[in-house]
């Protein structure tokens, strides 16, 4: 089992940048695939980005491709989401998620991830 704690959210103007971090507990972080999801008020939780256990493969939602970058540091048990060129429509609560898998295919499915953090608010003003 793994516990996840997100940080780095906040208020930023459109065009600005933020970097989210997700710290994981435990000694087996490198065996987990990781994902970022987001949920805007009144909307469903949507996929943002995911990364396989080794960090060698990533996948992004079309809405963030070219603006967001997911990465991980297995020595620090941490996954990151670098968000650049932020838009007001990126405003949401961002969640980190994990699933125990050595797959080489990143998963976009919310249902693949049994472990979730508490979320961090990102607000982009116009």
pLDDT at 27: 77
Sheet with 18-24, strands from edge to edge, namely 4-7, 18-24, 78-83, 68-73
Q: Is 106 left (phi over 0), alpha (psi -120 to 50) or beta?
A: beta
pLDDT tens digits for 18-52? 999 999 997 799 999 999 999 999 999 999 999 99
* DSSP-based three-state secondary structure for 91: coil
């Amino acid at each position: 089992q793994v516990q996840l704690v997100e940080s780095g959210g906040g208020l930023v103007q459109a065009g600005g940048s933020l970097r989210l971090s997700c710290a994981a507990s435990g000694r087996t972080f490198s065996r987990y695939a990781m994902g970022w999801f987001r949920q805007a008020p009144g909307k469903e939780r949507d996929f943002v980005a995911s990364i396989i256990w080794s960090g060698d493969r990533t996948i992004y939602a079309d809405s963030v491709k070219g603006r967001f970058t997911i990465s991980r540091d297995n020595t620090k048990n941490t996954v990151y989401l670098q968000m650049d060129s932020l838009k007001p429509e990126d405003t949401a609560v961002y969640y980190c998620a994990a699933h125990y898998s050595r797959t080489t295919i990143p998963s976009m499915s919310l249902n693949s991830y049994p472990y979730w953090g508490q979320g961090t608010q990102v607000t982009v003003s116009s």
